[in-house]
Amino acid sequence: MTETTMISDAIEQMPLRGYTEKAYLDYSMYVILDRALPNIGDGLKPVQRRIIYAMSELGLKSTAKYKKSARTVGDVIGKFHPHGDSAAYESMVLMAQPFSYRYPLVDGQGNWGAPDDPKSFAAMRYTESKLARFADILLSELGQGTANWKPNFDGTMDEPEILPARAPHVLLNGTTGIAVGMATDIPPHNLREVISACIHLLEEPKATLSDLCQHIQGPDYPTEAEIITPREDILKIYETGRGSLKMRAVWHKENGDIVVTALPHQASGSKVLEQIAAQMNAKKLPMVADLRDESDHENPTRLVIIPRSNRVDMESLMGHLFVSTDLEKSYRVNMNMIGIDGRPEVKPLNKILSEWLSFRLDTVHRRLSYRLDKVEKRLHLLEGLLIAFLNIDEVIHIIRTEDEPKPALIERFGLSDIQADYVLDTKLRQLARLEEVKIRTEQDVLAKEKDELEKILGSKQRLKTLVRKELLAVAEEFGDERKSPLIVRGEVKAFSETDLLTSESVTVVLSEKGWIRSAKGHDIDPLSLSYKSGDQFLCAAKGRSNQNVILLDSTGRTYSIAAHSLPSARGQGDPVTGRLNAPSGATFNAVIMGEDSQHLLMATDAGYGFVAKLDDLQTKNRAGKAAISIPKGGRVLSPTPISDIEQSLVLAVSYEGRMLAFPLLDLPQLARGKGNKLINIPSSRLQSREEFVVAVAVITPRQQLLVYSGKRHLNLKLSDLEHYRGERGRRGNKLPRGFQKVGRVEIALAE
């Protein structure tokens, strides 16, 4: 790769490869260092740090009155943050939610979201905020020479690089973030436990990880649900900085009912009930009679599950629910952060604590040095002030008579430049009012403080003792009991679906307006069923009650619905749109059932198609999956079942009455896509709807084709189809006169 070359004074030239590589690396490092990862010092990402700092600058301390969040965010954005106001507000909301942060940093009034739906928070014009008392652990030492300052994003003012945290906040509230090529997922911890480990490490710098884990038992989430990960797995997480944790809901028996009182972190009670209700509707939980949500302000989580009888094994029922719902959740752990060297790294617990302690010792040393410097300066000024006071008459005379009093004062009393300036800056009236006792008292107090500071700064042990004392004070002020108990539980397993579901023959019927229902048996006549006014029969599929029903819409997407969950055909069914999230304006064209191994011919009236397996069309997504791509001006055709993939012929019939037959093996097997050309339809004629494919059929040697045109029909045996055989993608041959306006085609057994 060649280097950058200068073409002229104003233009430089560099290779595109080099430029793109540099641009990508610059962007990646910006995301890692300035967006996604927290710093080990204060445990904050830049956006969080800017919000906390801006709020402190705006006077929004914990003792202040609440202020409209919109104004706060506006000021943050205006001064410190280059991203949009919604990004800043979302970050602020997270720091205010007691169910998201173990120790919230922001104190809010108004709707800041609910545990069930954390994103349900109000717009920032409706909420008020100020800093929580806990934010003091990050801000209290700011302005005491403890932080490095850097220009903000537009260079208009300075902001702190890292806040001087009094506790290892990176572990307390944890954080999540996605950078480029790396991510972070640090779980929250209990403040008392973390500080206890820090103090142990201060006293025993060679303490092992297992020693520290005597103090830090494991993460501590803002929920009372149980952490069920075995202790050895937690130790491994702390050893490597990576792994995963499991949390399980807390429940008890009450008057023959199951009462859930605590949910895993960020699990939604309404979603859990929805998951259980879905299983009940799907007849997967015959042993549950009813569900109730009795949550209120006193009991934020109280979900009641009522068994069908007192003979139900509650333990195995809850075991099934733990596996199949959010009553049990896994959490990824990836302790990735920016270290004190400014580099991102996944760190083990002992390294996190030792690095943070070195950061804290340095911060305290800087704070004390800054204070010592101020004390020394003040003592120096007081010394000059005392000389001036003891010689007040002479000083006043010099000030009044001399044109240049400063040099005269320096010469007469041996003052320094700074002392002379200070004396001259003090008003004569104040000079006259000064008391020797007050000056000497202040000197004595400051001298004592100076001695104390010098002693601490001159001894590593004294510095450690001070840090220890301050850590204990933080633990005393903000510490609380562990919320998430650590209890090892055995593995649980779900009920086997075959135990709960019966396999019966069903016929699924879809109407033109998109209403779906299921009838028992295969001998039903769908046309004889009752339909809503203006609606009529569209299509039907035969299958088993333990299979999924596949629906195909006009956009080429497929959707899955469990057959046993469909309403009975005694009624008029349910609208499909209530169960699925289809694109706006899409209509449902076909319904398919069968074994997962069943092959189908997927096609569009643009003359393209492919062979797909039924299993490839299955999806758990309510929004479905894109199965077949539709060319411009084309429409999707109903899938055609394939019984014999080896010997079958594909028949494509166009609106003009052209028909082409070719071996099915000429088509590819795909999971999704546009497919290959079946019959040649010019795109201009397709878009104007002058010519398109009317029907596609798959025929075996033992079958014949029936072509319907109006009330007439034409029988074509396999031998008759030789005239229409050709290469895939050709135009095909015209059908006989009178049958060139094809209405539909059918496959029947050969006579």
Cα(619)–Cα(130) distance, integer angstroms: 46
Q: Check: CB of residue 586 under 8 Å from CB of residue 503.
A: no
Cα(131)–Cα(588) distance, integer angstroms: 53
Cα(202)–Cα(709) distance, integer angstroms: 92
Exposed, middle or buried, 144 (CB in 10 Å: 0-12/13-18/19+)? middle
Q: Which of 244, 232, 217 is nearest to 333 (CA)?
A: 244
What are the residues whose beta carbons fall under 8 Å from the beta carbon of 461, sequence distance 6 or more? Answer: none
Cα(368)–Cα(25) distance, integer angstroms: 40
β pairing state of 608-613 and 676-677? antiparallel
Cα(135)–Cα(165) distance, integer angstroms: 9
Exposed, middle or buried, 409 (CB in 10 Å: 0-12/13-18/19+)? buried
Lateral strand order in the sheet of 640-642: 640-642, 599-603, 608-613, 676-677
Token couple for 297: 């302000």
- List residues bridging with 673 in a β-sheet: 628
- List residues bridging with 640 in a β-sheet: 601
Token couple for 211: 């020693």
* CA count, 13 A, side-chain hemisphere, 663: 5
What does each C-alpha distance from 390 to 81, 383, 387, 636 come to in angstroms? 54, 11, 5, 103
Residue 648 CA to its chain's centroid (Å): 49
Query: Which position has the token pair 């403890």?
Result: 146
Q: Check: CB of residue 482 under 8 Å from CB of residue 102.
A: no
Q: Which of 179, 31, 180, 177 is nearest to 94 (CA)?
A: 177
E-strand ranges in 146-249 read 149-151, 158-160, 175-178, 183-186, 226-227, 242-248
E-strand ranges in 239-363 read 242-248, 250-254, 257-262, 288-293, 303-307, 328-334, 336-338, 344-346
Query: Which position has the token pair 């609606």?
Result: 535
Cα(571)–Cα(566) distance, integer angstroms: 11
Query: Which residues form the catalytic set?
Result: 126
Radius of gyration of the chain (CA): 39
What are the residues whose beta carbons fall under 8 Å from the beta carbon of 19, sequence distance 6 or more? Answer: none
- List residues bridging with 177 in a β-sheet: 184
